[in-house]
Amino acid sequence: MTGTRRPGLRLRIDPALRLLLHSRHRSGEPVVPHDGTSTVGHVIQSLGIPLTEVGEIRTDGTPVPAGHVPRPSPCADVVVDVLPVARPQPPPVRPLRFLLDVHLGGLARRLRLLGLDTAYHTERADEALLEQANAERRVLLTQDRGLLRRRALWAGAYVRGGGTEEQLADVLTRFAPPLEPWTRCPACNGALAPVDKAEIAHLLRPGTRRSYDVFLRCRDCARIYWRGAHHGSLRATVAAARELLDRPGPPPEAGGPGPVRQDRQSSE
């Protein structure tokens, strides 16, 4: 130690976590005063890093829980190493269920395409998100660090990436969930089920009736899906997700649709 500064906690933040620090702490190793009453978890969160993103914590090389209170040293800083959560992360609940905040609508549709139980609302206050995540035991996915630092939240994860594809890759590599493509409605998260063409023929435009014979319908919102013009890009998304997880499965041709709402019929 140099000068007259009293010894404190010197935090060595793993590079994978540095983007979560408050901007004033992103260069060098933050040193914070320590009076012997604050837990390491509290100190880490005060720097901007939600504990949802933290894996192992070590003080002077010894692994400790987030609730550990380091003993002050009279002559040197206590070194705290902060490591990111392991990937893939063991799921906090099985089957894995997600809840996304209002800014992640594109990601919600991708996760549903892959068959993952994904709740999403275009408008939902923070308190309502916390309540739903806790009540339904869903992992809250968000880019709001403050929301993840809320003590009431049972489980959450910070979503990295500015675009939907980056965000999807981040969630898949973090949780490595089992995929069941073409089983959930991208619009509402309901379960998809095969439906006879004759049962829905009156809802289809003439070109769709002539060109397609295999349809799925959402059991919740009644939207109808088939292998329309966008099926190729959706199939590519499914294939990329499987490759990312290196998990074999049925060929992506087996299923997959372009959506149509019954109240406005189909788009060719």
pTM for the model stands at 0.87
What residues have CB less than 8 Å from 111, skipping those under 6 apart?
A: 98, 100, 118, 168, 171
The CATH code that applies to domain 88-178 is 3.40.50
Q: Give the pair of three-digit tokens for residue 123.
A: 């408008």
Q: Are 218 and 187 in contact (CB under 8 A)?
A: yes
Phi, psi of 63 (to 5 degrees): -60, 135
Domain with CATH 3.10.20.30 in the chain: 9-84
Rg of the chain over Cα atoms, rounded to whole angstroms, equals 24
Single-letter residue type at 75: C
What is the phi-psi region of residue 255: left when phi exceeds 0, alpha when psi lies from -120 to 50, beta otherwise? left
Widest CA span of the chain, in angstroms? Answer: 84
Of 158, 160, 151, whose CA–CA distance to 66 is shortest?
A: 151
Q: What is the pLDDT along the chain (268 residues), one digit of tens a residue?
A: 445 678 889 999 999 999 999 988 888 899 998 878 899 999 999 999 999 999 999 998 999 999 999 988 777 889 999 999 999 999 999 999 999 999 999 999 999 999 999 999 999 899 999 999 999 999 999 999 999 999 999 999 999 999 999 999 999 999 999 999 999 999 999 999 999 999 999 999 999 999 999 999 999 999 999 988 788 899 999 999 999 998 544 444 445 555 544 433 333 3
Domain with CATH 3.40.50 in the chain: 88-178
Of 222, 230, 163, 227, whose CA–CA distance to 192 is shortest?
A: 222
Q: Are 137 and 165 in contact (CB under 8 A)?
A: no
The CATH code that applies to domain 9-84 is 3.10.20.30
